[in-house]
Amino acid sequence: MALSPDGSRVAYITPLSGQGTAVEVLPLAKDARPKVAVSANGNPERLRQCSWVSNDRLVCELFWIGPAPDLLPFTRLLAVNTDGSNVKILTKERNFWTHGLALGGEEIIDWLPDEDGAVLMSRIRLPDDRLGSRLGNSNAGFGVERIDTRTLAASSVKSPTPEAIQYISDGHGTVRIMAERMLGPNDTDTGSNRYLYRAKGSETWHELCTFNYLQRSGFLPVAVDRDLDAAYGWKKKDGRLALYTMMLDGTGRENLVYASDEVDVTDLIKLGRRHRVVGISYVTDYRRAVFTDPAIGALNKALSKALPGKSIRIADASLDESKLLVHATSDVDPGVYYVFDRNSHHLDTFLVNRAELEGVTLARVEPVTYPAKDGTAIPGYLTLPPGKSDSKGLPAIVLPHGGPGARDEWGFDWLAQFFAARGYAVLQPNFRGSAGYGDAWFRTNGFQSWETAIGDVLDAGRWLISQGADSNRLAVFGWSYGGYAALQSVVVDNTLFKAAVAVAPVTDLATLVAQYRDWSNYYLESDFVGHGPHVKAGSPAQNAARIKVPVLLFHGTQDINVRIVQSQMMDQALAAAGARHELVTFPGLDHQLEDSAARAELLRRSDAFLHSAFGH
């Protein structure tokens, strides 16, 4: 959702059939109807995000996956008027003379709210060595240009350099920070980036800091505050990420803004066309917000009183910040968008998420902890069917999250809600190896430390049984790494769970690493998974003979996160072992299965499979 600069209209992306998407523009006036500004049929392009560049013009991102066997991801930025006219591709396309292939990575780094239809955009420049012409350009790399989105007239703001990968503006038209990759032999990734800055009024770049994103060491700049003359960024404190500022005046002085003694602090709250930082949020049992802007903090407190029991987020603001687009959600509410007028103090309902669920009683989600074998308290979320106060006598599902560098949090979850509606108790464990709890909890990640992570998933099932859940109707369901965890759980213990469902799962760790062989991050991915006997022992496809329960697999044929060969290997291994199983493929879909019909089929088939596996 994006609010126009004058606060009169909202633009949002809505699904069409298949993977199709459309950007609709809806005036805030009473009885107004939405109109489509631009659409993509999903074959292969999809629209992924859209924001206003003026009161009558939008900039949107197109995404698609190139054809097999390479399956390369592409993104392009386009500008379009709200009536669908004057479509311009902002990404500079290659021609007959250019060398290389630009997959994407370009972004709007400053929306230049004081100008009409112009932006600062980080842009990839491919070398163009045509002879006998003044049009050739060997100045290749990643730079910044000011672009008029109506005419495509462009001027260089920061000349491209091959090492640059990111730029950060101060929100007022000045680029202050540049990130460069620190490369190893043969231009391989090292996992570290170098950050440079420019002092106010200077064109000279100076080194600011470095950050290693594997070890999460150093300082990671994420925003610039012009008035403070400082960068906001993440840095570890006591093994957990915290928010700091680092001065951009040459002193390099750091100041702690906020740290939690329980979890990582990783989310900035930004507001307005300049994306100014007004606070931070983090997740313990629930998402919590701390505001650095007192006025916005007081406003958020008032909105929380007006909408009790909801998680409140200011999604967007008009240019003068007098009108706000507010999103309110909870575990039993997929979400409602409101428009708040700060002058009149009036809050109007604007649009309902998942309107089909209006009036449907949804399941409550409760934060819980359960003991692992070694006594460690593992946090998670328990969703019980509506009207149930405990798990006694219920069929149950352990639902490990993806990642492994991720975590679950309290709120509406369509998978958990579906199974709760079908009568299941659902437990989502934030097992050791989950992100968000600091270094000690993440360990060496959920692949190298798979025995600990999978042990916590198994202990989640044992805890459900101890709470009265039906031990004969206990299943494990996971997506991506969660699918890996589901399969590896029934390898380690083939008696606890009576069925396993895995969506887009990793099944062979060596094959996972091999998919990066032609990329610059190959050695990083190899080190992430690790080397040694845990690679084979931690690969479900290598240990399928130990699985004694029914298995259902789902996978999209254009999955670039986890290639479909992973499920195909598992399918073949289970067939060789004589195990009861099925592989369902979705042609043309990727890791997220962004197709309502496909997701509905996944849910129906999973429900029927579990009933069959349990003998019902």
DSSP state of 126: -
Residue 337 confidence (pLDDT): 96
Residue 209, token pair as written in the block: 């800091």
Mapped onto helix, strand or coil, the DSSP state of residue 532 is: coil
Position 518 scores a pLDDT of 86
pTM of the model: 0.94
Rounded Cα gap, residues 395 and 391, in angstroms:
8
Q: Which residues contact 55 (CB under 8 A, 6 or more apart)?
A: 4, 5, 6, 8, 9
- Please tell me the number of Cα atoms within 13 Å of 207 on its side-chain side: 6
How buried is 377 (Cβ within 10 angstroms: 0-12 exposed, 13-18 middle, 19+ buried)? exposed
For Cα atoms 318, 323, 327, give the angle at the middle one, nearest 5 degrees: 100
Which residue in 253, 258, 222, 224 sits closest to 241, CA to CA?
A: 258
If phi > 0 it is left, if psi is from -120 to 50 it is alpha, else beta; for residue 317 that is beta
Regions of the chain with pLDDT less than 50? 133-136
35 in Cβ contact with 25 (< 8 Å)? yes
- Decide: residue 373, CB within 10 A, 0-12 exposed, 13-18 middle, 19+ buried: exposed
DSSP string for residues in 418-465: HHHHTT-EEEEE--BTBSSS-HHHHTT-TTTTHHHHHHHHHHHHHHHH
pLDDT, tens digit, 9 for 90 and up, residues 144-195: 999 999 999 999 999 999 899 999 999 999 999 999 999 888 888 899 999 9
| pLDDT recorded at residue 125 | 81
pLDDT at 606: 98
pLDDT value of position 131: 53
Going by C-alpha positions, the residue among 288, 264, 268, 267 that lies closest to residue 278 is: 268
- Return the domain boundaries, the chain: 1-105+118-162, 365-613
Tens digits of per-residue pLDDT, 221-258?
999 999 999 999 999 999 999 999 999 999 999 999 99
Domain 365-613: homologous superfamily in CATH: Alpha/Beta hydrolase fold, catalytic domain (3.40.50.1820)
For helices 596-613 and 414-421, the axis angle rounded to 10 degrees is 40
Q: Tokens 């072992």 belong to which residue?
A: 577
pLDDT for position 93: 66
Distances (CA, A) of 311 to 107, 162, 307, 382: 29, 43, 9, 18
Cα–Cα distance for residue pair 260/240, rounded to 1 Å:
8
The pLDDT of residue 133: 47
